[in-house]
Amino acid sequence: MKPSLHLPAGNAICYSGYRDGQSPNERSYPSPDEILEDLLILQRNWPLLRLYDCSPHAERVLEVIEAHKLPFRVMLGAYLGAEMNNFGCPWGGTFSEAQLAASARENEAEVDRLIALAQRYPAIVFSVAVGNEATVDWTDHFVPVHRMIEHVRRVKAAVRQPVTFCENYVPWQHKLRDLVAELDFISLHTYPVWEYKHIHEALDYTKDNLASVARLYPDKPIVITEAGWCTNSNGRGMNAEHAVQELQAIYYQDLMDWTRAEGLLCFVFEAFDETWKGSPDPLEPEKHWGLFTVDRKPKLVMQSLYADLLALPQPA
């Protein structure tokens, strides 16, 4: 039996430390020294981190936290690849049967890694997330609900930490009802700027996203595991004029004020810009969600708290 659900409180942020020239696709990972540099920045304001997978990057993050006795607790994720074709994905969600079979085998190995790391770092890992955005209509790594249930059950049988799955708010409203019963808590993503909302309606839209799920599962805790605001865009998926640092700062403050008042655990997306993401276009929105730039300079939203970093010379 797991103990009653006790999730930590405090500022929380999504962390993925890939810098220019690094990419999980190329298996080029941040070094321990680079991770330590990041964590020393983040520890000023965020005691809680969310990691997305069980790659060497995530393993190094846990090792650095333990070795340097840093005051973080972590939601550790497993990245699940496609186990089923998703013909509705606009950027390619179709694979051969051989590719899907290989992906399913890799998912089993990833779940093994999740279990092993959760067992190895019980004082650091406070919860585990079995997958990320793997059931939403537009995903390129679709996993059917019955397989999600199988993965979750395997993890729950092996770890003591609470178990969740991280997903956009829409699937929680309908297709994930059978999965909810298997989870210790729901993890929800909300992005008003991706849905063409103006800043003046953004927080109310986030509140509505949460409420649309909470009313269906009144006895199930909900955590926001992604909410953020983009700061550059070529207009793909959002109004480019909305993707500016001034509006990021407003949404961040509104989000923090509301979630603190409500006692909601909310992971801000994300710590640092990541240039490996999305298309090669430098204004690709996926690259520009950080509260800090890829060279670790604070954006407007963080400049009062991190004024000292603005004064540091640019890296060569």
What pLDDT score was predicted for residue 91? 86
Distance CA 23, CA 261 (A): 37
What pLDDT score was predicted for residue 275? 97
- CB 110 within 8 Å of CB 151: no
pTM listed for this prediction: 0.96
Q: Say which amino acid occupies 27.
A: R
48-51 and 73-78 as β-strands: parallel, antiparallel, unpaired? parallel
Peptide bond into 63 cis (omega under 30): no
What pLDDT score was predicted for residue 88? 86
Band (283; pLDDT cuts 50, 70, 90): very high
> For the chain, where are the alpha helices, taking DSSP H only?
32-42, 56-67, 97-120, 145-156, 169-172, 177-180, 199-214, 245-262, 307-310
Band (310; pLDDT cuts 50, 70, 90): confident
Distance CA 185, CA 95 (A): 32
Q: What is the mean pLDDT of residues 120-135?
A: 98
Domain residue spans in the chain? Answer: 12-310
Q: What is the mean pLDDT of residues 79-93?
A: 93
What pLDDT score was predicted for residue 81? 97
Cβ neighbours for 26, distance < 8 A, ≥ 6 positions apart? none
Band (312; pLDDT cuts 50, 70, 90): low
What pLDDT score was predicted for residue 4? 57
Band (104; pLDDT cuts 50, 70, 90): very high
Query: In a 10 Å sphere around its CB, with 0-12 CB exposed, 13-18 middle and 19+ buried, how is residue 32 labelled?
Result: middle
Looking at the chain, the whole-number percentage of residues with pLDDT higher than 90 is: 94
- Which two structure tokens, joined as six digits, stand for 281? 């276009």
Distance CA 134, CA 189 (A): 12
Q: What is the mean pLDDT of residues 84-98?
A: 92
Cα dihedral 163/166/171/174 (nearest 10): 20
What pLDDT score was predicted for residue 185? 98
Going by C-alpha positions, the residue among 295, 297, 299, 291 that lies closest to residue 309 is 297
Distance from chain centroid for Cα 237: 19
The residue behind tokens 């190995």 is: 109
Distance from chain centroid for Cα 174: 22
Hey, what CATH topology would domain 12-310 get?
TIM Barrel (3.20.20)
Report phi then psi at 179, rounded to 5: -70, -35
> For 28-76, where are the alpha helices, taking DSSP H only?
32-42, 56-67
What pLDDT score was predicted for residue 169? 98
Question: What 8-state DSSP symbol labels residue 216?
Answer: T
Distance CA 124, CA 75 (A): 9
What pLDDT score was predicted for residue 294? 98
The residue behind tokens 């972590």 is: 74
Residue 316 confidence (pLDDT) above 70: no
Neighbours of 76 (CB within 10 A): 27
Band (2; pLDDT cuts 50, 70, 90): very low
- Residues 173-210 have pLDDT tens digits of 999 999 999 999 999 999 999 999 999 999 999 999 99
